[in-house]
Amino acid sequence: MIFREVEDPDLIAKARRGDVEAYNLLVSRWEKRVFNYLLRLVSNREDAMDVSQEVFLKAYQSLPKLDDPARFSGWLFRIAHNEAFSLLRRRRPETELAGEPRPPELGPRMQPMELSLTVETALNRLSADQREAVLLKVYQGFKFDEMAEILECPVSTVKSRLYTALDLLKVTLAPMQKEILRGES
């Protein structure tokens, strides 16, 4: 007998018929990706967790409206995008007062944790729109046209945000990149 993993569209069909277990399986497949996307976007674990739960609840309630189950991932991230930016809009004054985070000092040999923290800091220095473009492309692997659907904007806008972000990151991460190259040589 050939074991075939249940595909997302099958789970979606079952969930639409009220099978909550099927939906929970779908959630378990996507929760880590959605949580990490939200975590990098809102920069707070508790907020990211709360928004993640809200995203999956809204997705469950809106499943009958999903036209093409094959495009579930883009549809799900679109809900996540809306929820995240709704939160960011609500807390904007607080964020503006928080000040800019400082990157950790670069040592002779950076540890993986320090590398990760430096990247996180560099991402946080981008605007929310630029950061989101990087998150969707580099970490979530969406294509430009899929990103345009998620963000509800033209592909040209997606590219503009992403390319500006990459230029900024190239400058911000340059000292770290030299460190990595020195470590490799």
Partner 1 sequence: MSCASFESNPNSKPDWKAYVLGELAPDASRQAEAHLAACSICHEEVATLRLTVDTLSTLREEEVPRRIAFVSDKVFEPRWWQRVFTPTFAAGALIAAAILVHGAVRPGQAQVEAAVTEAVSQVEARHRLEMQVLSDLVEQRDKQVANMYLSNAALVR
Nearest 5°: the CA angle 127, 57, 133 is 20
* Residue 101 neighbours by CB under 8 Å, 6+ apart: 121, 124, 125
88 vs 119, beta carbon nearer partner 1: 119
Task: Give the number of other CB atoms < 10 A from CB of residue 8.
Answer: 17
CA 58 from chain center: how many Å?
17
Q: Does 23 bind partner 1 (CB under 8 A)?
A: yes
User: Which pair of tokens denotes residue 4?
Assistant: 């075939």
Task: Give the number of other CB atoms < 10 A from CB of residue 126.
Answer: 20
Binding mask 48-87 for partner 1 (x = CB under 8 A): -x--xx--xx--x---------------------------
23 vs 77, beta carbon nearer partner 1: 23
Query: What is the smallest separation between the CB atom of 2 and partner 1, expressed in angstroms?
Result: 28
CA 105 from chain center: how many Å?
26
Applying CB under 8 A, among 120, 125, 129, 149 the residue interacting with partner 1 is 120
Binding stretches for partner 1 (CB under 8 A): 19-21, 23-24, 27-28, 31-32, 35-36, 39-40, 45, 49, 52-53, 56-57, 60, 112-113, 115-116, 119-120, 123, 134, 137-139, 143-144, 159, 162-163, 166, 169-170, 173, 176-177, 180-181
